[in-house]
Amino acid sequence: MSPSPSPSLSQTPQRRNDPFFFLAHFTDPAVKQDKLAIAETAKSSTRRHLDPAYFRQEEPLLPHDSLSAYMPGFSGGDLFLQPFFTPTGHLSMEFMPESALSSTISHRLGEIMMILVETSKSMGQGQQAQLEMAELNSLFTTSNLSVFISAYFQSLHWHLPIVHFPTFDPAIISNPLLFAIFLAGATYATSQDGPVFASRVLDVAEEYIFRQLANLSSNPHPTSAPYLLPSVEVIQGALIIEMLQFGQGETGTRRRIRIIRHPCVISTVRSLGVLQFKRSMTPDMCNDETWRAMIAEEVCISEIAASSTAGRPLPSLREFITRLLDENATADLIQWSRSLVGEHLLILIYAMHSLAFQARTGLFGWISTNSIKRAAENWRSIWDSVSSIVGKEGLHHLGYPKHAEELWWLLTATLDRASGRNVNFRYLDNAATDDLESLNNFIRNIKGPNRT
């Protein structure tokens, strides 16, 4: 049985008739909810990926002090085996009752509320913008915690899989990561009926998390993966809150994330040496200590595929783009495409949009639009090839990579119109903008080419 479409999908044009199905919806200033691509595909991704047999096999690997230790009678697999939505489409909260949660969790929630209130006061945004305990009490409850954690791991986690569920413990993980997962689950779980918390809660949580991230750069840090894990949890929280904030559609917020926050994340990741981690052990016996050490190492690894295979490594982004621009690069592209996934193709099409912007502005010298068009066609050939393989294997592109093809349509439309006369689109101005309405107006004025 195929999953039923979410309300957001049923209220928007059918994709087959609109090459800008997602982008038009995502950039529409009139749409205040369900901005995230991950929210749009969350229901189908839950049913498509969660295999109950797999999680039953994983249960014995859970350490004795994991999530189940703080939620008696509840096992890690229950998050996935229990139905997430009732027949009416609303969240089911029965499988994680509040009575099953310990006082440890309640204490953590009280601590979180105090941190939010103190952080909001320190931000100096005026009395009206400050958070109060009274307005947070109804949000930060143990029953909400269980539902929002479930919402995160059943949906959003599949599109940003940076948290290891079997060892996820809400009683001991760092506050930044607990903040981010709680609010991520809350955002998706309430997106259909409207948010249960004000947007300034996200702003305050973002400020707190990035203050903690800034502290990592000023304090000495260990180099061993198990001892580095608390620092990595702060980075995980920062990435999740970035995703949430970037999807809100506020121009000032998007600019802050792009210009200030994300460079801070990248700088911290590099300074901690996370990108240098490789798998160092595969223990025959795994007790609690070695299990946690192994998981800490896995979380830090950025090149797992490269360390597991002896195949030809993928080229750098610069080299790949250079070959895409080359009309004689067919052999290399075919070879490289066998190792690509949707996320790689999304990064490549983003890079080509940057080239198109440079071609319009002349920031780095003259770039031929014909070369960029050729690169776009090469990208499309790889996309079709990868999509064909993915389809035969019964898999699907998810999250933002699912919509990478729309960025190809947008790139070709941008190149065509930028080279024409009497061009009067703010989106094509020679200045960076974080205003989604400019992009939406551009898309609305484009007559999408017929899809074959």
pLDDT at 166 over 80: no
Taking a C-beta distance cutoff of 8 angstroms, is the pair 407, 401 a contact? no
**pLDDT for position 42:** 53
- What are 218's two structure tokens? 């000023």
**pLDDT for position 97:** 41
Residue 11, phi then psi, degrees to nearest 5: -100, 0
Alpha helices in 393-403, H assignment, sequence order? none
Average pLDDT over residues 433-442: 84
Check residue 445 and report its DSSP letter: T
d(CA 61, CA 164): 12
Lowest mean pLDDT among 240-249, 297-306, 436-445: 297-306
**Amino acid, single-letter form, for residue 100:** A
* β partners of residue 294: none
What is the percent of the chain where pLDDT is above 70?
A: 60
* β partners of residue 91: 85
pLDDT at 212 over 50: yes
**pLDDT for position 162:** 83
Average pLDDT over residues 437-447: 85
At 278-322, the pLDDT tens digits run 656 555 666 666 666 766 666 665 433 333 444 456 678 888 888
Average pLDDT over residues 401-410: 89
d(CA 144, CA 103): 15
Taking a C-beta distance cutoff of 8 angstroms, is the pair 37, 399 a contact? yes
Average pLDDT over residues 223-239: 81
At 136-147, the pLDDT tens digits run 988 898 888 888
**pLDDT for position 29:** 79
- Which of the listed ranges 47-56, 75-84, 188-197, 405-414 does the model predict with the highest average pLDDT? 405-414
More confident residue, 297 or 273: 273
